[in-house]
Structure formats: C-alpha cells, structure tokens
C-alpha cells in the first residue's frame, strides 16, 4: 500500500474489543485514522479514502442497529479497498452479508472480512469468558495476521449465516430486538455510585445523563455493556424488569441479571478515556 493513501477505519465498541482491533489494524497500516461510529456520519465521510475499514462487535447474530444506521448514512468512495473485522464470541451470523448489501447500495463491495474471536462481554447474562490471560494474546496475534492481510490487500469470500442461525433467527431475535431499546429499564444504581459521569461519557448511544448526581437511562439502549464495564465502582447493576416479563419472557431473558459480585469485563488495553476520543490518528 502506498504511504500517501488515505486510510479510514470506522469502529463501534462497547467494551473495547473492537476499538483494540481497529487500533492494531490502523497501526499496522500507518497513515490511518480511526473514527467512532458514535459520530454523525455526515461529518466524517470517506469519499476520498482509498482504504476503508469497518470494525464492530457482533450483536444478536448480525450488525447492531447503530452500526447499520451509521453505514447506511455514510458516503464512501466506491472504488476503495473495503474491509471488515468483527469481534465476537461464537456466532457471526448475518453481519458480513448485511454489510455487503449496504455497500452494494453505494456501488461498492466488501473485499475482505475477518472474524476475531474475543472475550464474550454480555455480563448481564453470563460472567465474561474465556479468561483474559489466554484470550488477549490470541486476539492480538490473530489481529496482527488480519492486519498483515489487509496491508497486502488480500480479498476473501466472507462467511455467511449458517443453517441453524437461519432457522432459529426468525423465532428468537425479532421478539428480543423489539424490547432492546428499553432493556435499560432493568438497570439500577447502587449507593457506591460516585456521580463521576463515566457511564454517560462512554455510552455510544448518548443514552445516559446524570440527573441529580445519578445516571438516568433514556431507553435508547444498545445493550453494549460500556456503562457497566467502565463504572469505576461497579455501581450499575441489572435485573430484567417485571413489566417486561409480560412482553417477553424467554429462557434468555430469565437469565438477564447482573449481581454486584459478578466480574465485569472491558478490554485491558482500552481505558474509558479512549472511548471518549471518537477520532485517533496512527502515522
Ligand atoms: C448485546 C450483545 C449481543 C451479543 N451477541 C453476540 C452474537 O450474536 N454472537 C457472538 O458471537 N457474540 C455476541 N456478543 C459478544 C460480543 O460480540 C463480543 O464480546 C464483542 O467482542 C464485544 O465487542 P466490544 O468489546 O467492542 O464491545 C454479544 C454481546 C452483546 C453485548
């Protein structure tokens, strides 16, 4: 890749895995900017970028709404080399095919896509797994390999949703997604809250404001876990609310509970301040 090329990587993250992935790729490419998908897509178009990347976590077997909406509205150079890196724990599902479809609507296409298995962060359902000690070095090494392939403009055919995912999706996810924005009704804040405002600054949906010293949720949640992961005093807890049980009561929702004692996870190399920057350059 020529040094003079313009390289732009857009990322979305809740707990830092995808931001770390974007950083590793940007460092390897050089002369690259990484931009958070929390920004307004009209303010950060990539019409003159020669290399464009999208780095995001998999939610609900596909792209999360914020990523979908951002890319839908983003202007890009259709002739750019376009790549995607997903971070996930198990099921990549429809993500790459949905992304490719969005790109096709802009006259472009997805040329390279990589899944990076990472630590599962949905701690309102389960304790984070597997252990950081084993997984972080593996992620770093797989990211370096992917960065090298991107540097060499490798192309590949992306993985698509498997048969089981296609069979199960219509019977599970739509109901769950119908309550997603209001999932934050289950958050509560304990006495250990110090009103520092970190939760509100790291939220990629601007869903949290501090009212009378206490985090208040506006029901536009993406369930990304940033607030619980980065709270310095573990003050944010979760219990699936009774009123939502009347709307949706499944095997999954019955397990939605975050006791104070449970370990929270965020990527060890990514601090809360990193999530607040929105743009970073790597020369
Ligand atoms: C709401 C939610 C839904 C998730 N759904 C999936 C999924 O469908 N498949 C999967 O493999 N991982 C899933 N995960 C795990 C994340 O994709 C994984 O931990 C990711 O690396 C988190 O990235 P981040 O640290 O950049 O936020 C989900 C996590 C959350 C918070």
Atom of ligand 1 nearest to the CA of 226: 27
Phi-psi region of 61 (alpha: psi -120 to 50; beta: other; left: phi over 0): left
Side-chain-facing half-sphere of 99: CA atoms under 13 Å: 33
Rounded CA separation 33/7 (Å): 6
Q: Which of 89, 126, 186, 269 has most ligand 1 atoms within 8 Å of CB, for mutation?
A: 89
- State the residue for tokens 């709270």: 231
Give residue 176's pLDDT band: very low, low, confident or very high (50, 70, 90): confident
Position in ligand 1 atom list of the atom nearest CA 266 = 25
Note the pLDDT tens digit of each residue in 195-244.
999 999 999 999 999 999 999 999 999 999 999 999 999 999 999 998 88
CA 79 to ligand 1 centroid distance, Å: 30
Confidence grade of residue 19 (pLDDT, cut at 50, 70, 90): very high
What values do phi and psi take at 221, rounded to 5?
-80, 145
- Residue ranges lining ligand 1, Cβ < 6 Å: 13-18, 57-61, 87-91, 93, 118-122, 223-225, 267
pLDDT in tens, 257-275: 998 889 999 999 999 999 9
Indicate the Cα dihedral angle 180, 184, 185, 191, nearest 10°: 160
Pocket test for ligand 1, best of 58, 96, 263 (most atoms within 8 A of CB): 58
Quote the pTM value: 0.97
pLDDT digits (tens, 9 = 90+) for 248-258: 888 888 889 99
Of 225, 181, 227, 198, nearest to 69 by C-alpha is 181
118 pLDDT band (50/70/90 cuts)?
very high
């Amino acid at each position: 890749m020529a040094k003079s090329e313009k390289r732009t990587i857009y990322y979305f993250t809740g707990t830092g895995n995808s931001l770390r992935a974007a950083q590793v790729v940007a460092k390897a490419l050089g002369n690259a900017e990484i931009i958070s998908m929390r920004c307004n897509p009209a303010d950060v178009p990539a019409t003159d970028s020669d290399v464009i990347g999208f780095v995001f976590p998999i939610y609900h077997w596909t792209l999360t709404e914020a990523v979908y909406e951002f890319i839908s509205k983003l202007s890009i150079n259709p002739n750019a080399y376009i790549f995607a890196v997903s971070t996930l724990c198990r099921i990549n599902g429809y993500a790459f095919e949905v992304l490719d479809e969005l790109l096709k609507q802009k006259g472009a296409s997805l040329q390279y896509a990589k899944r990076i298995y990472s630590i599962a962060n949905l701690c309102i359902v389960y304790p984070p797994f597997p252990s950081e000690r084993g997984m972080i070095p593996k992620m770093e090494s797989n990211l370096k390999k992917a960065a090298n392939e991107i540097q060499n403009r490798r192309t590949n055919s992306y993985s698509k949703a498997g048969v089981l995912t296609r069979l199960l999706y219509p019977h599970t996810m739509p109901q769950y997604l119908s309550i997603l924005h209001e999932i934050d009704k289950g958050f509560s804040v304990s006495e250990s809250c110090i009103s520092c405002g970190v939760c509100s600054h790291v939220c990629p949906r601007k869903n949290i404001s501090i009212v009378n010293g206490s985090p208040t949720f506006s029901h536009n949640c993406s369930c990304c876990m940033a607030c619980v992961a980065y709270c310095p005093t573990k003050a944010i807890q979760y219990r699936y609310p009774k009123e939502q049980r009347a709307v949706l009561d499944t095997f999954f929702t019955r397990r939605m509970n975050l006791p104070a004692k449970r370990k929270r996870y965020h990527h060890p190399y990514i601090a809360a301040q990193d999530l607040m920057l929105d743009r970073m350059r790597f020369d």
